Homo-oligomer: A and B are copies of this chain.
Amino acid sequence: MKPSEQALRRPFPEALAQRLEARFGMRLSRAESIRAHHGHDESHFPDAAPDAVVFVHSTDEVAEVVRACGEFDVPLIPFGVGSSLEGHILATRGGVCIDCSEMNKVLDIRAEDMLVVVQAGVTRKQLNAELHGTGLFFPIDPGADASLGGMAATRASGTNAVRYGTMRENVLGLTAVMADGRVIRTGGRARKSSAGYDLTRLLVGSEGTLGVITELTVRLHPLPEATSAAVCAFPDVVSAVNTVIQTIQLGVPVARIELVNELGVRAINRFSKTTLREAPMLFFEFHGSPAGVDEQAHTVQELASEHGGLDFEWADRPEDRSRLWAARHDAYFASLNLRPNSRAITTDVCVPISTLAECVSATQDDIEASGLIAPIVGHVGDGNFHAIILVDPADTDEVERAGALNRRIVERALAVGGTCTGEHGIGIGKQGFLVQEHGEAVDFMRAIKLALDPHNLLNPGKVVPGL
């Protein structure tokens, strides 16, 4: 916890605790273990427990909690499953954690409109399980089995974004509780609208600082008639990335195109008991009609072979595909496993595709020079890649070197017109980068924050610096 944050932490008002306890009974918890669980995420930042946790069941309950906290001038932090990588849910100033995990109902599957209305605590895997039999799926897949509310709040994406977009493109509308306790509904069920300011897109990516998302209407996509998946090893990352660049530039509608570097593949093999060739590797998935999938695969195979791709191993059976993608999704945990008791500082730059080979390659050199262990994985079809820097959180020198490495990677991305974060968000660690990236625009973000949350109670200390 930064000392300045520590100083902002005030004693929790007993009267508020009593009020919430009277209203929520056992669903209000001040137990040490519960608080500790809610003050911990997947980031490397120190834990910071809230003073209390409320397990809410409805939008109205969230509104009640928000109004009560407002009365006592107490911060509140929305919580999904706690898989944030940027400290979003850390209660650095204390306050009440609003745990949405029991708001996990799929409210309305509208298959004919290819959309679904869900409560914020529904997770992506749960949603896809409940969509079984509809012929539709929800494509957005961050590494963790995150809640949809959390995914909207961080503008998450994942491996399918190159074809299906991110939460930005797939959230049609939201129900949110605003700082004054009022409930608003943004967007709607139409695929497009020009009706007023885009509050949906403003709340998506606002990391709980502008409103508490309680329900979402999201787009669904037809399950592809045919799917095929493959991996291909390359002599070096530059050849792999150049294959990606050409695939995107040719407009091949590839569903997934993911890079894992040599160290990343080694981590995956060890963790997921796979036997992938330990070389820079692309993971592909193609969606479409049988003929369309064949055509895409053929085009990409040709490009890969022009760039020295060594082999193309197909995973045609659904169970092989699932195993392959499960292994890819577990790359983060596989990486952590390379070094017991480490935590990860995960970089998240996203760059224009033409600069991707140069950025990934220079990042590998930087990692080499730093002496740190940091596998690289990436949603390279979008220009987004992660170095998962493994650190011993107790080793301040190492943490500092990791910070310097991260800074170098971000500064290179910004220099080519990229962003410091493609999908993880700003949280508490990237506020300086936000200013580097957006300059005076951040002042207008601050003005919006203060207009919508004048007392700075919604997840304070996140996103906008200086609040």
A interface residues (Cβ-Cβ under 8 A, vs B): 110, 112-115, 154-157, 161, 165-166, 168-169, 178, 182-186, 188-199, 201-202, 204-206, 210, 221-222, 224, 245, 248-251, 253, 289, 291-292, 295, 348, 350-354, 382-384, 413, 416-426, 430, 433-434, 437-445, 447-452, 463-464
Identify which of B112, B253, B289, B433 contacts A295 (C-beta below 8 A). B289
Contact A196 B426 (CB under 8 A): yes
Contact B451 A182 (CB under 8 A): no
Q: What are the residues of chain B within 8 A of A166 when measuring CB–CB?
A: 192
Nearest B residue to A420 via CB reads B195
Once the chains are docked, how many angstroms separate the CA of A221 from the CA of B157? 21
Q: What are the residues of chain B within 8 A of A195 when measuring CB–CB?
A: 419-421, 426, 430, 433-434, 437-438
Which of A195, A251, A350, A417 is packed against the most chain B CB atoms within 10 Å? A195
Once the chains are docked, how many angstroms separate the CA of A352 from the CA of B191? 7
Task: Give the number of times this chain occurs in the complex, counting copies.
Answer: 2
Q: What are the residues of chain B within 8 A of A155 when measuring CB–CB?
A: 192-194, 198
Nearest B residue to A186 via CB reads B441
Identify which of B110, B183, B205 contacts A198 (C-beta below 8 A). B205
Q: What are the residues of chain B within 8 A of A165 when measuring CB–CB?
A: 169
Contact A193 B110 (CB under 8 A): no
Once the chains are docked, how many angstroms separate the CA of A114 from the CA of B463? 29
Once the chains are docked, how many angstroms separate the CA of A131 from the CA of B295? 27
11 CB contacts below 8 A, A to B, read A155-B192, A155-B198, A184-B439, A188-B418, A189-B417, A192-B422, A193-B421, A199-B441, A202-B202, A224-B251, A448-B451
Contact A350 B193 (CB under 8 A): yes
Closest chain-B Cβ to A262's Cβ sits at a distance in Å of 25
Once the chains are docked, how many angstroms separate the CA of A437 from the CA of B189? 12
Nearest B residue to A353 via CB reads B113
Once the chains are docked, how many angstroms separate the CA of A169 from the CA of B161? 13
Contact A188 B426 (CB under 8 A): no
Identify which of B189, B222, B248 contacts A251 (C-beta below 8 A). B222
Nearest B residue to A447 via CB reads B451
Which of A113, A115, A350, A433 is packed against the most chain B CB atoms within 10 Å? A113
Which of A205, A417, A426 is packed against the most chain B CB atoms within 10 Å? A417
Contact A444 B112 (CB under 8 A): no
Which of A193, A201, A445, A451 is packed against the most chain B CB atoms within 10 Å? A193
Identify which of B156, B291, B448 contacts A197 (C-beta below 8 A). B448
Contact B192 A350 (CB under 8 A): yes
Contact A426 B295 (CB under 8 A): no
Contact A190 B438 (CB under 8 A): no
Closest chain-B Cβ to A437's Cβ sits at a distance in Å of 6
Contact B352 A185 (CB under 8 A): no
Closest chain-B Cβ to A419's Cβ sits at a distance in Å of 4
Closest chain-B Cβ to A349's Cβ sits at a distance in Å of 8
Closest chain-B Cβ to A304's Cβ sits at a distance in Å of 18
Once the chains are docked, how many angstroms separate the CA of A425 from the CA of B194? 5
Once the chains are docked, how many angstroms separate the CA of A196 from the CA of B436? 12
Once the chains are docked, how many angstroms separate the CA of A434 from the CA of B451? 21
Once the chains are docked, how many angstroms separate the CA of A186 from the CA of B222? 33
Contact A168 B418 (CB under 8 A): no
Once the chains are docked, how many angstroms separate the CA of A346 from the CA of B353? 41
- Lowest 10 CB-CB distances: which A-B pairs, in order? A451-B451, A222-B251, A201-B201, A189-B417, A193-B419, A112-B354, A184-B441, A190-B350, A113-B352, A155-B194
Nearest B residue to A454 via CB reads B447
Contact A354 B113 (CB under 8 A): yes
Once the chains are docked, how many angstroms separate the CA of A264 from the CA of B381? 42
Q: What are the residues of chain B within 8 A of A442 when measuring CB–CB?
A: 196
Q: A192-B422, A197-B448 are in contact. List 14 more A-B contacts (CB 8 A).
A: A112-B245, A154-B194, A155-B192, A189-B352, A189-B418, A192-B382, A194-B422, A195-B421, A196-B441, A196-B442, A201-B201, A202-B202, A292-B295, A444-B452
Closest chain-B Cβ to A189's Cβ sits at a distance in Å of 4
Closest chain-B Cβ to A283's Cβ sits at a distance in Å of 19
Once the chains are docked, how many angstroms separate the CA of A353 from the CA of B172? 14
Once the chains are docked, how many angstroms separate the CA of A421 from the CA of B192? 9
